[in-house]
């Protein structure tokens, strides 16, 4: 089992920690779970700077209550997007 991450993994972890902290800062009381999925979750992301391609960050946010529907959900989404 690996206990040390390569440098690029540590940089990604710091970036993800920042993203999660920003999301929680906006809506901590409304969020039940934040899920990372896609290439970053699998560990096979790509960062090909010479060709201008890099993997995106796929995050799913699960809200605590179903009352955040329609306009309320869009406002929450807009507030999160404004941070990034």
Greatest extent of the chain over all pairs of C-alpha atoms, in Å:
46
Average pLDDT, rounded, for the chain: 79
Cβ proximity of 31 and 20 under 8 Å:
no
pLDDT at residue 46, as a whole number = 84
> What is the number of structural domains in the chain?
1
Rounded Cα distance between 9 and 31, Å, is 26
58 located within any domain: yes
**Within the chain, which residues score under 70 in pLDDT?**
1-8, 66-71
2 located within any domain: no
70 three-class SS: coil
1 located within any domain: no
CB neighbourhood size of 43 (10 A): 9
35 located within any domain: yes
DSSP one-letter code for 37: E
Cβ proximity of 61 and 32 under 8 Å:
no
pTM for this predicted structure? 0.67
Structural domain range at position 28: 7-83
């Amino acid at each position: 089992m690996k206990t040390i991450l390569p440098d690029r993994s540590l940089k990604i972890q710091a970036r993800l920690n920042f993203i999660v902290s920003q999301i929680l800062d906006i809506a901590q009381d409304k969020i039940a779970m934040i899920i990372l999925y896609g290439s970053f979750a699998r560990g096979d992301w790509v960062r090909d700077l010479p060709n201008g391609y890099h993997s995106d960050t796929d995050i799913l946010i699960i809200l605590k209550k179903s009352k955040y529907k329609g306009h309320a959900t869009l406002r929450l989404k807009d507030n999160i997007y404004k941070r990034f």
